[in-house]
Amino acid sequence: MSSVAGGVLGACGSLAASVSLALATEGDAMPQEYRGITYVYYFVIVLILAYGVYDTFFKKSEF
């Protein structure tokens, strides 16, 4: 199970990195003071989605 969880977290980390790189190449599309909170916002969304995938597909049922 740890390899599956590692794979899911790795995929989510790659997604967060690609979003960060996409925002970085836009230049001045976003004011500098909002960039940090935007990265935090995307990271929280990725964590929530990763937990949802884990809970739906990989967690053992207690029934």
pTM over 0.85: no
pLDDT score at 48: 93
Write the DSSP string, the chain: -HHHHHHHHHHHHHHHHHHHHHHHHT-SSS-HHHHHHHHHHHHHHHHHHHHHHIIIIISPP--
- Under the banding of pLDDT at 50, 70 and 90, the label for residue 56 is confident
pLDDT in tens, 9-48: 777 777 666 666 666 555 566 667 777 788 888 889 999 9
pLDDT score at 42: 87
Residue boundaries of the structural domains of the chain: 2-58
Task: Please say whether the beta carbons of 54 and 2 come within 8 A.
Answer: no
pLDDT score at 8: 72
